[in-house]
Amino acid sequence: MTVGHGVTFAHGFRAGAAKAGVKHGRPERLDVALIVSERPCAAAAVFTTNQVIAAPCVVTRRHVERGPLRGIVVNSGNANACTGEQGERDAIAMAEAAASVVGCSPYEMAVASTGVIGFKLPVERIAAVLPDIALTEAGWDDTSRAIMTTDTRPKVTERELHLAAGTVRIGGVAKGAGMIHPNMATLLAFVTTDAAVDAGDLRRIVSHVADSTFNAISVDGDTSTNDTLLVLANGVSGVVPKGADLAMFEEGVRTVCAELARMVVADGEGATKVFEVRVRGAASAADARLAARTITNSNLVRTAIHGGDPNWGRVLAAAGRSGARVDDRRASVRIGNLFVYRSGAPLTVADFDVRALFAAPTVEIEVSLGLGDGQATAWGCDMSAEYVRINAEYMT
C-alpha cells in the first residue's frame, strides 16, 4: 500500500482546502474543501438510512441521480441538518458557489457537511473562501484535515491496479470517529478513480462495497444525519474494466473502503483498541451479518474489551439477541487463538490468558454457529470513559 495522495492519487483529480470559520471560535482550522476532476465523472453514492437526513445528502442524491459530477464541496463544523427548507437552500447555494469556481453546472457538484446538528450553515463564509482554494495534486492532505471533526488524525489510502486492459488508480479519504454504526454512520468517505467505469456498474459496486466495509463497523451504535459514501470515476486512464477486470476493480474499491473503514474504527472517540468479529457457520449470510454487527455494537462486549475483563459470555449473549438463529449447543467462541467455548460447552481456561488477549491493541473474536455456511466480518472498538467525556462536551 502506498499512502500519500488519497483523492488525488487517481489521474485527473485535484483538491484543496481553506479556513472559513464555519464553527464559531475555530477560525484557525481548515474547514472547507474542494475535490475536483478535470472532466465529468460517473458517480455513485450511498447515504444515511436515518430518517432525519441532512440537506447536503438530499441535494447530493438529487445531483447523483441527474448524471455526471465534476467534484465535491465539503465543510466541517456544521452539519446543516435539522435546518428545514433554509438548509436545503444553503446546500444548493454551496453547490452554486463551488460550481462558479470549478466552471461547471451546480448540478455537477456534490455537497457534504459534517459537524454540529441544528445550526444554520454560514454559507456566505464558505462561498467567500472557495475562490481562494488552490486546487493541486498536493491538496489531498489539507482536504483530509479539513473534513475532520472529533477525528484525531486524517484517514487516507490508495491503490494502483494492474488490470489486463491497463493500469488504474483508486484513492480515498474519510472522516469519522463518533456516531458510527452499520447502515452508514457519522461518516464522510470520498473515493476517486481514473478508471472508465460504466455508471450502472459503479452503482452496483458501491452498494456491494458499502455493505461489507462501512456498514460493517461500529463505534457507538448511533447513525447520523449526514453519512455519505461517494465514488467518482473520471475515465482519464482510458481503461474500461470488463469481465475479470471489473471484478478486480470492485475488489480494489473494496480494499480502499475497508482500509478507510478500519481507520475510522481505530480512531473511534476514546478508543484504545480495535476488535474484529468473524462469524462463521451461520444459517445464512444475513444471519452472520446480524450476529457480527450486534457483537461489535454491544456496550457490554466493548467495555469488557476495554477493561480486559475475561467475560467472554457477553459475546455469545450478544449473538443470541441479534435476531440471527443461534443454538448455544452447537456454537463455539474463540478469542485470538484460545477457544473459551466449544461445541456448546465452556472450556477451562485461565482468566489471565483471556485478559492478556483482551489487553492487546487488536482483539480477534471468532464465533462459529454450526448451523450452515453463512459468514461475515465486522469491526468495532472498545468503549472508554474518554468517549463519554468527548460527547458530553461536544458543543462546549
Residue 24 exposed, middle or buried by CB count within 10 Å (0-12, 13-18, 19+): exposed
Residue 64 · residue 71 · CB < 8 Å? no
42 forms bridges with which residues in the sheet?
A: 233
Q: Measure the CA dihedral 257/260/265/266, to 10°.
A: 150
Percent of residues in the chain assigned helix, strand, coil, to nearest 5: 35, 30, 35
Half-sphere exposure of 333 (CA within 13 A, CB side): 29
Residue 175's closest CA among 267, 57, 69? Answer: 267
Distances 178 to 33, 87, 224, 264, 389 between C-alpha atoms, Å = 21, 23, 9, 9, 12
Angle at alpha carbon of residue 153, lines to 148 and 155, rounded to 5°: 80
Residue appearing with cell numbers 440471527: 324
Half-sphere exposure of 337 (CA within 13 A, CB side): 0
Angle at alpha carbon of residue 382, lines to 287 and 181, rounded to 5°: 45
Residue 228's closest CA among 175, 305, 177? Answer: 175
Q: Could you tell me the three cell numbers for 196? A: 472508465
Distance CA 271, CA 370 (A): 32
Distance CA 45, CA 229 (A): 5
Distance CA 59, CA 112 (A): 9
Residues designated as active site: 186
Order of all β-strands in the sheet with 345-346: 217-218, 374-381, 274-282, 362-368, 332-335, 338-342, 345-346
User: 25: helix, coil or strand?
Assistant: coil
Distance CA 22, CA 126 (A): 7
* Rg for the chain, CA atoms, rounded: 21
